[in-house]
Structure 1
């Protein structure tokens, strides 16, 4: 299952660990959400809308996750438990979050909310992609005028990002440490492919194109996307595929040499 991590094919993964144990462990599979295993009837509205198979895990894959799966199947969901639980997943090299960032609650039986200024840039779009793929696949994003971000965040219980003064914001004169860097650091994510992607994003956001050769391409593609799309949420959905592809390149393709098309045809 870990090979699907960070892609649109990742299933809906749910931690059903008992709440006291989940708080004690403070450990979760990246890209999963927590839900009460005794309240599966309340899972449907959020989890069902993704239209994906549901994979439920607990610590060891025993009674807690299997109870939740039995109830979900009785409700008509395509659900299964993760054999061996989070322990086995981590042993096999799957990405596990062992630390939570500021303002992001550990036990929240509903989607997290995030807010930033309108017309999100390279770093802001990358941040939203990272949240959706590795922190909360159900996350809600809102974009408003910059001057109202803090007020609206407080009123709706949202987490501000990619704005001045936010924990998840740019730091340095040229945004040397952006919101993506802040998120990776706060969740202690050291995955090499994500760190590589963060450098590409940083180079594109700060126009320091010498950081990584791919920064120039990302800058050009997202500048073009911004010129085509004036709806922030629609632009985010389109940017998700771009970041999916770039992450896949960082993870699986970056080490391969690239030959011209004529050489590939000849071979």
Structure 2
């Protein structure tokens, strides 16, 4: 009989990339992590010995805890958190089970920029439209849920990156940018090993909208229209980003679960 505080790989995989996904805490000890330095998308590492620090970091949010095998480390920490009133579950089978699941994404830890004050820090040009909303969405949903984004004038992006240790993106000459016919969203899928049917489908739409190649996907023109409208609706870039998160959440659920709708003809599509 499954434990009440246990979640399966399949169940967690359905939560990854959605706004409802709990915090995912990897407490694998350093030698185990060094043998296989990959992360579940959106997770963060934390030492199992620092329970007060973890409680502060969770700040009341629900969490899923994983270690190498899902045995003593994660089960013990989950029991501790639950007795302190924090909703917590452990991943059945741990990182070994996640690694062996055929459709589970794994982010290489070395690809993630070093955190600045506890979270990755990114900088790009102000007045975002498509790539500069899509990429922050991807990062917050699949790389670093607490990531921060700075929007500055184009001439100051590299200076801000240098002064504040931020990672520049969607700029000519930086690693996270357009490559050939591909846009920055594509580059990030490559860098963070996030290729899967849903995100690849989204990439076709985003690339088509961002590079004015509406022939790449029928939805590209619609995304362009919504993105331009969103940019006209908000003067503040961070407020626009928050609104854009919902747009890309919906696009992800379409790409994952509804891209073949309607399934039949002659029915009410309303």
Matching of residue 242 in structure 1 with residue 253 in structure 2: no
Matching of residue 222 in structure 1 with residue 222 in structure 2: no
Aligned counterpart, 1:56? 65
Is the 1:16–1:68 Cα contact (8 Å) retained in structure 2?
no
**How far apart in 1 are the matches of 2:67 and 2:119?**
20
Which runs of 5 or more residues in structure 2 are unaligned?
A: 1-11
How many residues are matched? 259
Distance 1:223 1:33, change over 3 A: same
**How far apart in 2 are the matches of 1:19 and 1:140?**
26
* TM-score of the aligned structures, taking structure 1 as reference length: 0.88
User: Cα distance, 1:77 vs. partner?
Assistant: 2.0
Which runs of 5 or more residues in structure 1 are unaligned?
A: none
User: Cα distance, 1:108 vs. partner?
Assistant: 8.7
User: Cα distance, 1:95 vs. partner?
Assistant: 2.5
Aligned counterpart, 1:136? 144
Is the 1:102–1:167 Cα contact (8 Å) retained in structure 2?
no
Distance 1:57 1:265, change over 3 A: closer
* TM-score of the aligned structures, taking structure 2 as reference length: 0.87
Aligned counterpart, 1:66? 75
Aligned counterpart, 2:106? 97
**How far apart in 2 are the matches of 1:111 and 1:6?**
18
Aligned counterpart, 2:4? none
Q: 2:85 aligns with which of 69, 73, 76?
A: 76
**How far apart in 2 are the matches of 1:95 and 1:153?**
33
**How far apart in 1 are the matches of 2:234 and 2:91?**
40
Aligned counterpart, 1:124? 132
Aligned counterpart, 2:210? 205
Aligned counterpart, 1:151? 159
RMSD (Å) for aligned C-alpha atoms: 2.4
Is the 1:101–1:183 Cα contact (8 Å) retained in structure 2?
no
**How far apart in 1 are the matches of 2:160 and 2:34?**
29
Q: 2:188 aligns with which of 180, 183, 186?
A: 183
Is the 2:116–2:165 Cα contact (8 Å) retained in structure 1?
no
Q: 2:36 aligns with which of 15, 19, 25?
A: 25
**How far apart in 2 are the matches of 1:28 and 1:162?**
24
Matched position secondary structure for 1:56 = strand
**How far apart in 1 are the matches of 2:99 and 2:207?**
29
**How far apart in 2 are the matches of 1:143 and 1:150?**
12
Is the 1:12–1:32 Cα contact (8 Å) retained in structure 2?
yes
**How far apart in 1 are the matches of 2:223 and 2:33?**
38
